[in-house]
A and B are shown apart, each in its own frame.
Chain A
Amino acid sequence: MSLLALRDFSVSLGPRVVDGVDLDIEAGEVFGIAGTSGSGKSQLLLGLLGLSPPGAVVTGSARLDGRELVGLPERELARLRGDRIAMVFQDPMTALNPYLTIGTQLTEVLRVHRRLRPGAARERAAAMLDAVHVPDPGRRLAQYPHQLSGGQRQRVVIAMALLCEPAVLLADEPTTALDATVQAQILDVLVESSRRLGTTVVIVTHDFGVLAAVASRAAVMRAGRVVEVADIGTLFAGPRHEATRELLDAARELGLPTVTA
């Protein structure tokens, strides 16, 4: 049985923005979901988390470890989010609360889901910051989000997502808002830390460069539907659907020559 199994999974916001998706994501893999703006990839993630916009209708089936997520009451979903299913969004500045210290935000996760005492929670939070290579974690806990660079902030968000050692981490364009020079480092941290904890990663992106760097398999979406699923080698070497070819061309055309000297 796969870790995350979607059957005829759909999200309707009036129009169907996710339309009859079937997917099987296996434990331990880094699975990519690629598509252009408006292809439905973000709505798919939000639908899984029960975070679709008000009025959305989510239908079909999404099973995590055999447990049905569609139709689960909000109370149950809230218990799962941040614990079994974690998320990392595009913009770390809006994902963090500007009024609370990094420490308060990290330990909140552990107090809510693990009922840890403050001392133990701080210790665990500092250890997790260290694991995602945030220097001087003790001092960082006392700081506010604006005191950190964009790259450091996204490391904090990743640390927060991994605190409860979730079964699956859903990441929506986690490096798109970041400087290209730190993008590769953040992807490495995301994937390595997840692998160490046995967390499965689902990463949503429009950038085939991101898939090439980290994904083992990927699905390509267009107009709410999954049009192609393949392992990364196959997807790059022999894309079958036009949508895949277009994304690949876009990435290749924006390529660089090789450094020779």
Chain B
Amino acid sequence: MSAPPLLEARDLAVRYPRTPAEVPPALEGVSFTLERGERLAVVGESGSGKTTLARALLRLVPLAAGQVLLKGEDLAILDPAELRERRRAMQMIFQDPLASLDPRMRVLDIVAEPLDCGPGRLPAGERRERVRALVESMGVPGNALARRPRTFSGGQAQRIAIARALIAAPDILLCDEPVASLDLATRRQVLALLRAQCEERGLALLFISHDLPAVYQLCDRVIVLYRGHVVEQGPVRQVFTAPAHDYTRRLLSAVLVPDPARARAR
């Protein structure tokens, strides 16, 4: 028997509590696999279910139906301690780094926290050295360790959030709009950093975004979500040049083109 996929979603459905019966589920019938080293995008407009999908994969919201299998293991049958341990393999990066990093903590403690929560305890010197090396390899100066998040630009803060995710040695990075709050030049640098880290470490990436150009630059495959359903999935280049679904076509035509003549012909 061949090895199970790294991550598999089977027929996922999520219905938020206390929503009226006539409101359709936030997510329904969503299935996909993510293999080791693969970079998969989930695209769709606000309200399409992208963030709900990320939360469902992490079991941060209960499933109404379906299964999430991590390395072939159903997360639903684990007790809370086992779930926490297995979930270390999936690390999150959120949209707004200044909101996702604790403003009262120093960078050293923020980045080291996954180590501190993990099995065993590192000597202080080694802990510090590992954080410093990782933070520097993200392009953040090593003297940053004693500073707090608010003293960094958005791009620098996001690099720190990436370092915190990587220090847990995950198999999967789960990113929810990780570059949406950054300007274009910084966005480009952070995308390049994510790509380099994934390639170097053989990480799989689940990249949730409404930013189709970023998806095009970074990902191999794409899932298009519309009102909680997958309407199309395939290789990024194929889906973006020959979309099969009208909704995908609409998403593509909403992208602003940096060319005045084409932009105005729209």
Residues on A facing B (Cβ under 8 Å)? 36-38, 149-151, 179-185, 187, 206-213, 232-233, 236, 246-248, 250-261
Contacts and interface: CB of A to CB of B under 8 A. Distances in A.
Contacts of A207: 183-184, 256
Contact of A212 (B188, B237, B254, B256): B256
Interface stretch (B10-18, B56-64, B209-217): B209-217
A182 B45 contact: yes
A47 B140 CA distance: 32
B260 interface: yes
B183 A254 contact: no
Interface residues of B, number: 39
Contact of B258 (A37, A150, A181, A248): A248
Contacts of A183: 254, 256
Contacts of A212: 256-260, 262-263
Given A256-B216, A259-B242, A259-B243, A246 B185 contact: yes
B241 A250 contact: no
Contacts of B259: 212, 236
B105 to A, nearest CB: 24
B210 A179 contact: yes
A133 to B, nearest CB: 16
A232 B153 CA distance: 30
Contacts of B237: 257
B183 A206 contact: yes
Contacts of A150: 46
Nearest to A235: B260
Nearest to A232: B260
Contacts of A149: 46-47
A261 B47 contact: no
Nearest to B255: A256
5 contacts: A206-B183, A236-B260, A250-B185, A251-B258, A261-B242
Given A209-B263, A254-B188, A184 B254 contact: yes
B213 A179 contact: no
Contacts of A213: 256-257, 263-264, 266
A149 B186 CA distance: 27
Given A259-B241, A260-B242, A254 B256 contact: no
A38 B156 CA distance: 14
Contacts of B241: 257-261
B239 to A, nearest CB: 10
A33 B47 CA distance: 31
A179 B258 CA distance: 18
Contacts of B262: 212
A260 to B, nearest CB: 5
A180 B252 contact: no
Contact of B252 (A38, A179, A248, A256): A256
B249 interface: yes
Q: Which of B185, B217, B237, B264 has the most chain A CB atoms inside 10 A of its CB?
A: B185
A180 B212 contact: yes
B257 A254 contact: no
B258 A236 contact: yes
B187 A181 contact: no
Contacts of A251: 184, 258
Given A206-B184, A207-B184, A213-B257, 20 more contacts: A37-B153, A37-B183, A38-B153, A181-B250, A181-B251, A182-B45, A182-B254, A187-B256, A206-B183, A207-B183, A211-B260, A212-B256, A213-B266, A236-B259, A250-B187, A251-B258, A252-B258, A254-B184, A259-B243, A261-B243
